[in-house]
Structure 1
Amino acid sequence: MATMDGGSKRSRWQLLVHEMAKFGVVGGFCYFVDVLISNLGHGLFGMGWLSAKTVSTIVAATCAYIGNRHWSFTHRARTGLRREYTLFVILNGIGLGIALGCLGIARYVLGLDSVLAFNLAGNVVGTGLGTIFRFWAYKRWVFLHPDDPKAALYAAADAQRSQSLPEPVGRL
């Protein structure tokens, strides 16, 4: 029995490492997109710190949703695009709030005004803290484990909803 427990713990640990690695690859690409767009917005287009970070986060989060849904967490239960994407947007809004909070403190509380401060506060500290939150939240609420009882419930509701849609009517 101890062997089975050890094997089960090992496989859960391996799954966690596997998910973290894929999440990291997707996150690395999206981090590059985020930093590039935020710096272009702030440096080239003269956007304020918070505006540049908001635009860059929206673009990067969209890329992240696609990568995480179709690669990082592809083995997890599908509980409906509407449900997943709505939660994803809400959780990324919280992640954005974390990054904007870090930027706001650096800019308006500490009075920092350099490109280095912008990047450290928003793109290192803010994005780093937001990433930790998002990994935990995606696994907990967006991309459910197939054994989670809520996964079956949401999948059944989504299937029933799609069956109840009216048939498309031909063009007149």
Structure 2
Amino acid sequence: MDRSTGLQGGLTRIFREVAKFGAVGAAGVLVNIVAFNLLRHGTGLQVVRASVLATVVAIAFNYVGFRYFTYRDRDKGGRTKELALFLFFSAIGLVIENGVLYVATYGFDWDSPLQSNVFKFIGIGVATLFRFWSYRTWVFKALPAREALEQAESFLTEAEAEAGAPQSVRR
């Protein structure tokens, strides 16, 4: 494999990861914004309290999306540790996201429904940059190449057995 092919493959993988992260994230943003507005206007909760609760709902939604869609090919060992790290980094993201809203609401008195939604969205954007880095670096770690190859071979062997095809010769 020449160097340009390796670089192109690496860029393709990161692009796919960003696209999948973005798809789950976009759905999570929708869940977050809808829950925020329902809580804020439907229950009369204060802005930041409604936002924190909405963020918690989105965090739960996003974990399922990231684990079973974006990072489904990543190491599945140590789910307790993975979940603990996910919740830890999500909590930091929650503070970042809602800190932006808090400063806008209580620091600058920007509290209209439009302003609250704009600063909620800006907070989500800033927190998303942190979350993408932390999730891919610490939470959903890539399998080492040898383990990934063994996992792929095992999957193919199982698929062949289920299809009734003769198993290929193992190396």
Which of 125, 150, 157 is 2:122 aligned to? Answer: 125
Structure 1 segments (4+ residues) deviating >6 Å: none
Counterpart-to-counterpart distance in 1, 2:42 and 2:55: 17
Counterpart-to-counterpart distance in 1, 2:38 and 2:56: 15
Counterpart-to-counterpart distance in 1, 2:8 and 2:71: 19
Counterpart-to-counterpart distance in 2, 1:42 and 1:49: 6
- Residue 79 of structure 1, CA deviation: 3.0
Counterpart-to-counterpart distance in 1, 2:78 and 2:56: 21
Q: Secondary structure at the match of 2:2?
A: helix
Aligned position for 1:156? none
- Residue 141 of structure 1, CA deviation: 0.1
Which of 105, 111, 114 is 1:113 aligned to? Answer: 111
Number of residue equivalences = 148
Counterpart-to-counterpart distance in 1, 2:47 and 2:88: 21
- Residue 99 of structure 1, CA deviation: 1.1
Task: Specify every segment of 5 or more residues in structure 2 that has no aligned partner in the other structure, as ranges.
Answer: 148-171
- Residue 53 of structure 1, CA deviation: 0.8
Aligned position for 1:31? 29
Aligned position for 2:70? 72
Report 1:1-172 matches (<5 A).
Answer: 4-122=2-120, 124-147=121-144
RMSD: 1.8
1:98-136 deviation line (CA, Å, top 9, x unaligned): 1111011101111112011110111x1100011111111
Counterpart-to-counterpart distance in 2, 1:55 and 1:100: 10
1:36-94 deviation line (CA, Å, top 9, x unaligned): 00011111110111111111111111110011011101112223210111011011101
Task: Specify every segment of 5 or more residues in structure 1 that has no aligned partner in the other structure, as ranges.
Answer: 152-172
- Residue 8 of structure 1, CA deviation: 1.2
What is the TM-score normalised by the length of structure 1? 0.81
What is the TM-score normalised by the length of structure 2? 0.82
